[in-house]
Structure formats: structure tokens, C-alpha cells
Amino acid sequence: MTQVKICGLSEPATLDAAVAAGADYVGFVFFAKSPRNVSLEQAAALAARVPDRVGRVGVFVDADEALLGGAIHAGRLTAIQLHGADPAQAAAARRRLGIEVWAALPVATRADIERAGAFRGAADRLLFDAKAPKGADLPGGNALRFDWRLLDGVAMTMPWGLAGGLDAGNVAEACRATGAPLVDVSSGVEDAPGIKSADRIRAFVKAVRER
Ligand SMILES: O=C(O)c1ccccc1NCC(=O)[C@H](O)[C@H](O)COP(=O)(O)O
């Protein structure tokens, strides 16, 4: 069964909607520039509402160890998702923090996909995500998709997931086209940047489950 991660949750009502809809993972963003940013206090309050069967993924951009450690504790995180990290940084974080590490791999060209092999043994999961345009404020959460055909014929040697511009209208096609074992969405379940919609979350999970 395709797993679903609903990312960038920051309000109890929409977090509860994601859990009730059957999300496998919920994501909390710890990046001050993001409209989805949560404080450690918010993360703790949100995480307390999440049953153990649902994974809790913290999203970070060039975070220092103090933030990573504080967030892992406060958010009862089961994994950290690193944006901008190279394989050595991912491996070091995994070794030092003893937590599952997801490495976000920004994709625009086939050459980007070819960087995947370097993360084998360094991260626990790769998340293929659309590369942000130059000068964008955020490395992820931009409602952009990449050309899924870039994944054609790529032999995946580690757990992975697909992100970038997914929504209830295109996620079934994305799953068919790529065979992704996990799909990750943020903007596609929002009414506006940072404002999650319970209806859109339910529609997204339903589209994945009923495809
Ligand atoms: O969502 C953010 O604000 C964010 C900020 C900084 C780094 C990563 C961020 N999001 C990462 C995610 O996991 C998103 O779910 C993923 O990029 C897909 O986003 P979207 O295209 O908006 O569905």
C-alpha cells in the first residue's frame, strides 16, 4: 500500500484530520522562513495528539544540532527530513542523533536523480522533490512538480518517496507513473500557504487509497 505523508501541519484540527484520514506520517516544519514553521512548544502540543502508529517527521533546512535535538524531543519525532544536506551530513546526523534520516533530493534533471546513489547507506529514505527555482525562499513546499518520467527505469536501492506539486487530482496518476511507495504533500492540501484544509487532506488520502 502506498504510504502517505501530510507535511507542514501546524494546527490541531488539520493534524487530527490527517490522522483520522489515515495518513501514515505527519510532518512538522522547523524552518523560520516557512509559513508552516512550528515552534518547539507547538510541536510538542501537536505531537501529543498523534497516535504511535503514525510517524512524525521533522523537516529541517541546514539545522544545527541544538535545534535537531530539541525538535526530536519536543515533537517525539520518528524521523528527520533534511533539505540541503549532502550524504556525509545525512550520515553524520544519523550516527549522532540515532534517528531515521530522510534526505530530500531536489530534482529538475536526470543528473539530479543520479545523485541518489550517493545517499545509499547514508540516509534511510530518499525523498525526490521538485527543485525550487533560484532565489526561492523555501527549498520545499513550493507546489511545484518535476517531470516524473525522469524516474523511469531508475533502479531504487533504498526506500524512497515522491513529493512536489501533488494534490488529490494528480496523486493517483503520480503513483501509477512512478510506483512511489510513499507520497508527500503540503501545498496541495492547503487553501493558502500554511493554511491546511481538512477537506483537501481527506480528498488526498482518499485519492491514494482508492486508486
Ligand atoms: O513546506 C515547507 O514550508 C518547507 C520548508 C522548507 C523545507 C521543506 C519544506 N517542505 C518539505 C516537504 O516535505 C513538502 O511536503 C514537499 O516539499 C512538497 O511540497 P509541496 O509541493 O508543497 O506539496
Q: What is the pLDDT of residue 110?
A: 95
Q: What is the pLDDT of residue 42?
A: 98
Atom of ligand 1 nearest to the CA of 165: 21
- The tally of domains found in the chain comes to 1
Q: What is the pLDDT of residue 27?
A: 98
Atom of ligand 1 nearest to the CA of 145: 21
Atom of ligand 1 nearest to the CA of 187: 22
Cβ-count burial 137-175 (b if 16+ within 10 Å, e if not): ebbbbbebbbebebbeeeeeeeebbbbbbbbbeebbebb
Question: Is the pTM value of this prediction over 0.90?
Answer: yes
Q: What is the pLDDT of residue 144?
A: 97
pLDDT tens for residues 105-164?
A: 999 999 999 999 999 999 999 999 999 999 999 999 999 999 999 999 999 999 999 999
DSSP-assigned beta bridge partners for residue 101: 80
Q: What is the pLDDT of residue 149?
A: 97
190 within ligand 1 shell (Cβ under 6 A): no
Residue reference for cell 544545527: 64
Q: ipTM of this model?
A: 0.98
Cβ-count burial 47-60 (b if 16+ within 10 Å, e if not): beebeeebbbbbbb
Q: What is the pLDDT of residue 146?
A: 98
Q: What is the pLDDT of residue 174?
A: 98
Q: Which CATH number fits the domain that encloses residue 173?
A: 3.20.20.70
- Testing ligand 1's pocket by substitution, the residue of 38, 56, 144, 186 carrying the most ligand atoms inside 8 A of its CB is 186
10 within ligand 1 shell (Cβ under 6 A): no
Whether the Cβ atoms of residue 26 and residue 5 lie closer than 8 Å to each other: yes
Q: What is the pLDDT of residue 64?
A: 92
DSSP-assigned beta bridge partners for residue 26: 6, 56
Percent of the chain with pLDDT over 70: 100
Centre of ligand 1 to C-alpha 150, Å, is: 20
pLDDT tens for residues 16-32?
A: 999 999 999 999 999 99
Stated as kind and residue range, the H or E segment containing 203 is helix 198-209
Q: What is the pLDDT of residue 195?
A: 98
In which domain, by residue range, is 173 found? 3-209
pLDDT tens for residues 63-84?
A: 999 999 999 999 999 999 999 9
User: What average pLDDT does range 175-192 have in this prediction?
Assistant: 98
Q: What is the pLDDT of residue 87?
A: 94
Position 177 confidence tier, pLDDT thresholds 50, 70, 90: very high
Centre of ligand 1 to C-alpha 7, Å, is: 7
Mean pLDDT of the chain: 97
